[in-house]
Amino acid sequence: MKRFLERFYIAIIFIFLYAPIVMLMVLSFNNSRTRAKWGGFTTGWYRALFQNQAIMEALYNTLFIAIVSSVIATIIGTITCIALSNMKSHSRTVLLGINNIPMLNADIVTGISLMLLFISFGFRFGMHTILLAHITFNIPYVILNVMPKFRQLNPNTYEAALDLGASPVYAFFKVIFPDILPGILSGFLMAFTMSLDDFVITHFTKGAGVDTLSTKIYTEVRKGIKPEMYALSTIIFATVFVLLLFINLAPAKKEKQIISKEKRHTLPQKAVAFAVISILVISTLIYSNLSKDKEGGQVIVYNWGEYLDPEALKIFQEETGIEVIYDEYETNENMYPKIESGAAEYDIVCPSDYMIQKMIEKDLLAQIDFSNIPNIKNIDSNYMEQSKEFDPDNKYSVPYCVGTVGILYNKSMVTESIDSWDVLWDKQYADNILMQDSVRDAFMVALKKLGYSMNSTNEKELEEAKEALIEQKPLTQAYVVDQVRDKMIGNEAAIGVIYSGEAIYSQRENENLEYVIPKEGTNVWIDSWCILKNAPNKENAEKFINFLCRPDIALMNFEYITYSTPNAEARKLIEDEDIRNSQIAFPDLSQYNNLETYQYLGEDADYIYNELWKEIKSK
Amino acid sequence: MKSRHSKWLSMPFLAWSILFILIPLFMIFYYGFVDKSGQFTTENILSIMKPEHLKALGLSILLSMIATIICLILAYPLSMILSRLGVNQNSFIVLIFILPMWMNFLLRTLAWQTLLEKTGVINSILSFLHLPALNIINTPYAIILGMVYNFLPFMVLPIYNSLIKLDKDVINAARDLGANGVQTFIKVIFPLTLPGVISGITMVFIPALTTFVISNLLGGSKILLIGNVIEQEFTHASNWNLGSGLSLIMMIFIIISMGASTIFDKNGEAGLI
């Protein structure tokens, strides 16, 4: 009975630990791009995975960084443990205390402080800065694992070896090393795992175009995780799991024999050695396929995650011979400090409206020479006009994606017709409302509902908006950014505040969904290409922007991202009549009142918005 | 191992930690004690007294304490069962607990969202069995679940580690001297594994205290934890001074827990593995 209970308990814990993993595995066979819907069984993502060069390159980087950083950390950590074991207990406590800092500090603090350090030392950001950061947070795990093994050592054996004439180094490798080896290996394994899983620190210390799997996954969050990622995770997991089973089951026959102490150690040893070797082999194989050639110089692009068809990049490289170094970010706010600090060199970025204004004010952008961008004529003049709200003379930016913010509702749950922000305060939809989890978007809704400007800096108006949002909070199911789409497709909520680009996609997946622009007015947002003041390849940057304004390329990107293109010529090329004439994708802006675009309100106003937002969130 | 030279062996680590741990830490100190114009101020530190920050901190402490206690309650019996399984399975058991971490943290947490949602997998199964629905997504309960899930291995491994190192003779001696199972556990086993328990508590409590991803994804961003505040200051509000100030407050907790673990674990014996 007791035995059964024990087994049962272990089983429960394992179900708990592995349920999400099974979930991810199932999703990797899901023939639908959204996790909210089961679209039938497919192995297509696995095929797509191996053709996706960006993911393969990220996989290589991840393994390379994980292996190199954990090997170096293991060496430094082990040497340190030798020293620690000989120290007075006072100085040992101090050192172990320092050792604990990176492990216990919040990732974001470690990440930003390392970024500041690299900037002040004038390091160029790239693979090596990630390596330094990873070694730093890996060393503690090694020390934590090796140290206890030193405590268990019998010091007399080492003394004996010395007495018998062995040199200290020889004695170390013959006597001590075999005994601490299990600790070293588990420290290595732990370090490897931590390096594999890290995102925040990597994000702040990486250079342009160096992506790991984690940073790739996070930049994908905004547009929804690509199923290829589930497939890759499943492969990694399955490989390691099979390896483990193989290694642990194989020697099971010998179990009956008395296992000598030495033999015990060979088990994890073999396991780790085998794993490392196979990973190295796989990764070199992958990397050898990723040869590159540079001819016509390069251009370094910093764009939102999933915001450009990779096919378009290939065409550009083929046509011009210019190599594109492509890097992605998740939010305007994550992008800004990297640009401002000059941590990494970029030529082109794609910020949103208010951020462009801020970057102009901070003198980070270069004026664009429009004589080099003849294709600007394809851009709808309405959007050039709208851009003047943040770029008054149309000197710094070329619109790339545009859209509105509106309400997406599920007709099977909402029977009335919706035309006002007021519905978000309607009690009958309690727990069925999804709000945007960003300061400006949330305040935009409240300010517009109250009839104020969404760029208000009037404290009384902001206070009213805050009260309205606090009143609304109990009715909201969640504040979300990227998951509105998946949740609405999956019938999780009845009403959601959403970007028009996501609305088109959501309707394709769930036909009950309807999108409206409320009558009180809303935000017209514009993401535009800008060239940075210190761009090393300004000419190539202009060529790239001109290329993106070509109708066929703009169309290609529209079909890939589903966010509306301001490119009027591209719109004419859309074959599907419903989409070409879609009021969601291409609204006639003159029909609506009170449309506005976000402006940069200055540091003081930003501070007020953020403080009020925290008050709302903490209620 | 006593040799004059071995002291020099700590030099690489010392140099490394001064460069990459202490100097960055000093920078956080600097940012925490100045305002945007570079003038000295204690405002960033004192802003922890603002009601919304205090509430966030209080809630973080409460949730991570609950998560830590649940982890301990789950992990201790588990480690005891596992420790009896036999020596040659050690590496396998350890790896089985580390293995989930090879799937990306964000993906794992997103998977919980898919499992827990109103129309999610668990509720579909429950409604198929005509059982009442489980509505914990976007509540503090889901956050606790996420914490327990992500940090449980950090509790299991040190406890398991100290249990397998336990001298069997000590337990047998207690039994021979007439102690029953419960007494042996309370008087002998538990005190001897205390370093492992403390190290587990630290390894769960601190990351749970500073998390923001879990509360965003499973709490629907409706619940503001101190980690969210710091993250918001750094990434959305671009107010590094306030973010640094609040991080310094968090460091106080880290120092306390470090102090606690040195008291209970004088020799640094409770390794993770």
In chain B, which among 71-110 make CB contacts under 8 A with chain A?
74, 77-78, 81-82, 87-92, 94-110
Q: What is the pLDDT of residue A479?
A: 92
Most confident of A335-344, A464-473, B96-105: A464-473
> In degrees to the nearest 10, what's the CA dihedral of B172, B173, B176, B179?
-90
- Condensed to tens digits (0 to 9), the pLDDT of residues A453-506 reads 999 999 999 999 999 999 999 999 999 877 888 889 989 999 999 999 888 888
Chain B closest-CA separation from residue A584 CA (Å) = 27
Work out the average pLDDT over A610-618.
Answer: 92
Residue A264 reports pLDDT greater than 60? no
Distance from CA of A566 to the nearest CA of B (A): 27
Q: What is the pLDDT of residue B89?
A: 64
Task: Tell me which of A226 and A489 has the higher pLDDT.
Answer: A489
CA distance A590 to chain B (A): 32
Tokens of residue A288, six digits = 């050898």
pLDDT for the residue A207: 79
Structure confidence at residue A354 as a pLDDT band (50, 70, 90): very high
Across the interface, whether the CB atoms of B7 and A105 are under 8 A apart is answered no
Question: B52 contacts in A (CB within 8 Å)?
Answer: 614-615, 617-618
Helix B240-264 / helix A107-120 crossing angle, nearest 10 deg: 120
**Cα–Cα dist A402/A557, whole Å:** 13
For range B94-109, the mean pLDDT: 83
Is A267 in Cβ contact with B238 (below 8 Å)? no
CA gap A455, A599 in Å, rounded: 6
* Residues from chain A contacting residue B96 (CB–CB below 8 Å): 14, 244
B positions 230-269 inside 8 Å of A (CB): 230-240, 243-244, 247, 250-251, 254, 257-258, 262, 266-269
Lowest mean pLDDT among A31-45, A129-143, A307-321, B55-69: A31-45
Residue pLDDT, tens place only, A7-27: 899 899 999 999 999 999 999
- Average pLDDT of span A43-61: 87
Contact: A106, B52; criterion CB under 8 Å:
no
Position A422 pLDDT exceeds 70 = yes
Cα–Cα separations (whole angstroms), residue B86 to A152, A227, A564: 20, 40, 62
Give B 217-236 residues with CB within 8 A of chain A.
Answer: 220-222, 224, 227-236
**Which of B19, B103, B134 should we substitute to test contact with A (largest number of A Cβ atoms within 10 Å)?**
B103
Which residues in chain B are contacts of A213 at CB distance < 8 A?
104
pLDDT band at residue B94 using 50, 70 and 90 as cut-offs: confident
Which of B247, B258, B271 has the CB atom closest to A97's CB atom?
B258
Q: Which residues contact A292 (CB under 8 A, 6 or more apart)?
A: A323
pLDDT digits (tens, 9 = 90+) for A384-407: 999 999 999 999 999 999 999 999
Residue A412 pLDDT:
93
Chain-chain contact of A20 with B98 (C-beta, under 8 angstroms):
no
Helix (H) or strand (E) holding A434: strand A433-436
Chain A: residue whose CA lies nearest to B28:
A113
Lowest mean pLDDT among A125-129, A292-296, B17-21, B83-87: A292-296
Residue A104 has pLDDT above 70, yes or no: no
B107 to chain A: closest CA residue:
A24
Chain A nearest CA to B170, separation (Å): 17
A237 contact residues in B (CB cutoff 8 A) = 99, 102-103
Of A21, A218, A438, the CB nearest to B100: A21
Residue B175 binned pLDDT confidence (cut-offs 50, 70, 90): confident
Q: Is a pLDDT exceeding 90 seen at residue A445?
A: yes
Question: Average model confidence (pLDDT) for chain A?
Answer: 86
Whether A90 shows a pLDDT value over 90: the answer reads: no
Q: Which of B220, B128, B109, B139 is nearest to A493 (CA)?
A: B220
Inspect the interface and report whether the beta carbons of B244 and A93 lie closer than 8 Å. Answer: no
Residue A423, pLDDT score:
94
Q: Which of residues 501-530 of A touch B (CB under 8 A)?
A: none
Q: Is the pLDDT of residue B66 over 80?
A: yes
Q: Is the pLDDT of residue A298 over 60?
A: yes
**Given its phi and psi angles, is residue B260 left (phi above 0), alpha (psi -120 to 50 degrees) or beta?**
alpha
Question: What is the reported pLDDT for A360?
Answer: 95
Report pLDDT digits (tens) over B124-170: 899 899 888 888 889 999 999 999 999 998 899 888 888 887 888 88
Say what the pLDDT of residue B265 is. Answer: 59
The Cα–Cα gap between A178 and A172 comes to 9
CA angle A159–A165–A170, rounded 5-degree value: 75
Mean pLDDT within A346-350: 94
Where does residue A346 rank: exposed (0-12), middle (13-18), buried (19+ CB within 10 A)? buried
Q: What ipTM was estimated for this complex?
A: 0.88
Q: Contacts of residue B97 in chain A, CB cutoff 8 Å?
A: 17
Closest C-alpha among B265, B93, B86 to residue B192: B265
- Please, which pLDDT band fits residue B192 given cuts at 50, 70 and 90? confident
Per-residue confidence (pLDDT) for residue B267, from 0 to 100: 52
Q: Name residues 179-198 of chain B within 8 A of A (Cβ).
A: none
Is A428 part of the contact surface with chain B (CB cutoff 8 Å)?
no
How many CB atoms within 10 Å of residue B149? 22
- Is the CB of A110 less than 8 angstroms away from the CB of B24? yes
Q: Is A132 on the interface with B (CB under 8 A)?
A: yes
Out of B16, B107, B222, name the one closest to residue A476 (CB). Answer: B222
Contact A197 B99 (CB under 8 A): no
Of A128-137, A236-245, A428-437, the poorest mean pLDDT is in: A236-245
> Number of CB pairs < 8 Å for A and B?
312
H helices of A367-458, in order, are: 381-387, 439-449
State residue B64's pLDDT score.
94
> Are the beta carbons of A101 and B224 separated by less than 8 Å?
no
In this complex, is the C-beta atom of A458 within 8 Å of any C-beta atom belonging to chain B?
no
Interchain contact A89–B (C-beta under 8 A): yes
pLDDT tier at A279, thresholds 50, 70, 90: low
Q: Is B147 on the interface with A (CB under 8 A)?
A: no
Out of A55-64, A105-114, A502-511, A531-540, pick the least confident.
Answer: A105-114
What would the pLDDT profile of A375-388 be if each residue is shown by its tens digit?
999 999 989 999 99
Q: Is the pLDDT of residue A257 over 60?
A: no
Taking the alpha carbons of A411, A414, A418, A421 in that order, is the dihedral positive or negative?
negative
Q: Which of A180, A206, A161, A197 is nearest to A77 (CA)?
A: A180
- Average pLDDT of A589-614? 89
- Enter the pTM of the model: 0.85
Residue A514 pairs in a beta bridge with A409
Question: For A211-225, A243-257, A533-547, which range has the lowest pLDDT when averaged over its residues?
Answer: A243-257
CB–CB contact A80 B13 (8 Å): yes
Q: Which of B85, B112, B234 to mutate to test the interface with A (most CBs of A within 10 A)?
A: B234
Record: contact A233-B107, CB cut-off 8 A: yes
Q: Between these two residues, A190 and A572, which has the higher pLDDT value?
A: A572
Closest chain A residue to B260, measured at CA: A97
Q: Give percent of chain A above pLDDT 70.
A: 91
**Residue B250: per-residue pLDDT:** 84
**CB proximity A243 to B under 8 Å:** no
Which residue of B106, B210, B222 is in closest CB contact with A218? B106
Judged by a CB distance cut-off of 8 A, whether residue A13 touches chain B is yes
Helix/strand/coil for A409: strand
Q: Does A183 touch chain B (CB under 8 A)?
A: yes
Average pLDDT over residues A557-572: 92
For testing contact with chain A, the best of B8, B104, B218, B239 (most A CBs within 10 A): B104
Chain A residues closer than 8 Å to B93 by CB: none
- Confirm if B61 and B209 have CB atoms less than 8 A apart: yes
Mean pLDDT of A50-58: 85
For residues A202 and A9, what is the distance between their CA atoms, to the nearest angstrom?
38
A221 Cβ under 8 Å from any chain B Cβ: yes
Q: How far is B209 from chain A (nearest CA, A)?
A: 9
pLDDT the model gives residue A93: 78
Closest partner residue to B220 (CB to CB) among A14, A186, A480 is: A480
Poorest-pLDDT segment among A410-414, A590-594, B137-141: A590-594
